[in-house]
Structure formats: C-alpha cells, structure tokens
C-alpha cells in the first residue's frame, strides 16, 4: 500500500463572549515521503458544530488532542458576526463575511426582496447565496468534490451542486457519514473527490440543550471524538492518496444565567407590530410595514 499522509489542523471558533483571537505555536506535522504523489492530495474538512475551543481538554477528547498534537492547532479564532451556525459555516467555506456571502443569520428577512430566509432555504432558492464555496472552487479547477452535509452544501451555488452530496437530515447516522467519506476517498482516481466536507451537529445540540458543562455535552464530545479518530485511522490504513484532514468548529457555547435572560413579553411592546426572527442569544425585531 502506498504511504498515506494525514495533516491535521484544529481550528476552533469561539463564542461571542470573547472576541480576541490568537493562534498557538505550530507543531510540525508528521509527514511520510510519497514520491511522485505530490499532486494526489485530497482535503477532508470536517465541522463539529458548537465545539467550544476548550472542549478537547474539558471533555477529554483524546483523538482530537492526538490529531492536534500531530498537526496545527489554533487555540481559538474570532467567529464572524452573528455567531450563528449558518453565517459562520458559509464564511468558513467561502472566505467571505456574512454581508458578502448573503447569509446574515440563521433566520432573517430582506426588505428589498420582501422575503425571509431560514436555514437550508438555499436548496429551494439559491439566489440567497453569494460567493464560491470550496467545493465549487475545486470543481471549477476540474476536480470532483463531495459533501456529507455542510450548511447549504445541497444548494446550487453558481449553478453547481457538489459532484456528490446528500440533502441534509439531522437524523442521518454518524457512522454512515464516516463510511461514505472513506468510500469516496477510495474511488478510482477519475471519480474520487479531491475535496470532501463533513458535518456533525450533536455537540451543538447538547450544548444548547444542557450547557457546555453538562454530562450530555461530555458524552457528545466523546462520541464525535471517537468517530473523528476512526476517520483519521481509516484514512491512514485504507486510503491510497495523501489526505489533509482539517477539523473546524463554527462557534463556542457559554453557560446561561436564567436570572439574566430577557423575555420578549417583558419589553412592553406589542409583538404583533413586529416580525420576530431568531431566539436565544439574538432576537431580531422587524417593524411590520
């Protein structure tokens, strides 16, 4: 079997609570020589939604810690605003700020269009989406690209879907996602994707429901850590070409103090005068015209 190289990087986007950013010193990645195969690299980028910058240590994510030690780890990064899943994922994959890629919230209304967007709406109407996501860019260079979920990855950016993709289902089995990514990487050279994106929402869901310190969040971190560890091991054992493995998150998670939460009903306004979008950390009130 040909030698396989796994370069790993851990990029953690932190919650809105803290906005300073810096990166840790870089450790050299372990690289095995692979003569003649320099152009055969693939990229696998995997997002762990809501994976806070310190969950590796806080929730003892051994596999991610090992990958980070072999590769490059940013201690934390400043997320784009608003610190929501869709704006941040679209920024990661297009390199654009939300005002430029168009997805300025998980839910928002556009006065000029007189329409409202909600998560995943790009599949029905791709005119909400601007920019060139990395899977598009790979295809523009004549390469195949695949996504096993990423916000809006089943939409037609610039008239194109990824070469291989699935329509989003929160309930899609996590092991199946890993299996499919390995299968894609093992396809014959002419058909295999050189760019692959993957996505797990579980850590975000548990963080929202139970808080960053909860046992449920610990268990979610343990589950995705084991799966990412399996992905890295299987890339090394089963895949011929070199693979650059990048793990990212879109934002962090902060413990709420219920005493400090604000109820819309306490604002003393008639809510029927407003369009209300979003909840939780951010609520948008639009005047009904």
Size of the site for Zn ion (CB under 5 A): 5
Rounded CA gap, 103 and 73, in Å? 27
Rounded CA gap, 195 and 179, in Å? 16
b vs e for 80-94, b when ≥16 Cβ sit within 10 Å of the residue's Cβ? bbbbbbbbbbbbbbb
Q: Is 142 left (phi over 0), alpha (psi -120 to 50) or beta?
A: left
Stretch that binds Zn ion, among 46-54, 125-133, 213-221, 229-237 (CB under 5 A): 46-54
* Distance of closest approach, residue 204 Cβ to Zn ion, in angstroms: 5
Tokens of 285: 């009130």
| Contact predicate 156/19, CB 8 Å | no
| 47/63 with CB nearer Zn ion | 47
| 269/280 with CB nearer Zn ion | 280
Q: For residue 85, state whether it binds Zn ion (rule: CB under 5 A).
A: yes
* Distance of closest approach, residue 16 Cβ to Zn ion, in angstroms: 12
* Distance of closest approach, residue 205 Cβ to Zn ion, in angstroms: 10
* Distance of closest approach, residue 200 Cβ to Zn ion, in angstroms: 11
H helices of the chain, in order, are 55-58, 62-70, 85-94, 98-101, 134-140, 174-185, 202-210, 215-238
| 49/152 with CB nearer Zn ion | 49
- CA 1 centroid distance within chain: 32
Residues 169-198 binding Zn ion (CB under 5 A) are: none
Rounded CA gap, 221 and 63, in Å? 11
Interacting residue with Zn ion among 250, 252, 253, 277 (CB under 5 A) = 250
Site track for Zn ion across 109-148, x = CB under 5 A: ----------------------------------------
| 93/235 with CB nearer Zn ion | 93
Q: For residue 152, state whether it binds Zn ion (rule: CB under 5 A).
A: no
**What is the β-pairing status of strands 274-277 and 284-287?**
antiparallel
Residue 13 bridge partners (DSSP): 77
CA dihedral 139, 144, 150, 154 (to 10 degrees): 70
Stretch that binds Zn ion, among 151-159, 176-184, 201-209, 265-273 (CB under 5 A): 201-209
Interacting residue with Zn ion among 11, 43, 47, 49 (CB under 5 A) = 49
85 noted as active-site residue: yes
Q: For residue 225, state whether it binds Zn ion (rule: CB under 5 A).
A: no
Residues labelled catalytic:
85
Binding site for Zn ion (CB under 5 A): 49-50, 85, 204, 250
């Amino acid at each position: 079997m040909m030698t396989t190289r796994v370069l790993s990087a851990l990029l953690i986007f932190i919650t809105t609570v803290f906005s300073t950013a810096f990166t840790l010193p870089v450790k050299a990645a372990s690289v095995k020589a692979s003569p003649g195969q320099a152009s055969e690299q693939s990229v696998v980028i995997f997002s762990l939604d809501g994976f806070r910058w310190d969950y590796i240590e806080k929730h003892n994510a051994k596999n991610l810690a090992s990958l980070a030690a072999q590769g490059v780890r940013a201690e934390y990064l400043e997320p784009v605003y608003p610190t929501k899943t869709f704006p941040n994922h679209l920024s990661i994959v297009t390199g654009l700020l939300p005002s430029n890629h168009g997805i300025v919230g998980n839910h928002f209304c556009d006065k000029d269009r007189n329409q409202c967007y909600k998560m995943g709406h790009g599949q029905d109407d791709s005119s909400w989406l601007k920019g060139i996501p990395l899977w598009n860019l790979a295809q523009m260079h004549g390469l195949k690209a695949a996504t096993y979920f990423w916000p809006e990855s089943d939409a037609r950016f610039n008239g194109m879907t990824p070469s291989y993709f699935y329509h989003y289902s929160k309930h899609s089995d996590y092991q199946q996602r890993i299996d499919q990514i390995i299968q894609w990487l093992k396809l014959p050279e002419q058909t295999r994707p050189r760019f692959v994106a993957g996505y797990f929402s579980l850590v975000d869901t548990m963080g929202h429901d139970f808080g960053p310190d909860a046992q449920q969040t610990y268990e979610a971190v343990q589950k995705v850590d084991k799966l990412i560890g399996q992905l890295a091991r299987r890339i090394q054992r089963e895949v011929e070409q070199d693979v650059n493995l990048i793990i990212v998150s879109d934002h962090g998670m902060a413990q709420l103090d219920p005493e400090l939460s604000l109820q819309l009903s306490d604002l003393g306004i008639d809510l029927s005068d407003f369009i209300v979008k979003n909840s939780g950390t951010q609520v948008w009130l639009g005047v009904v015209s």
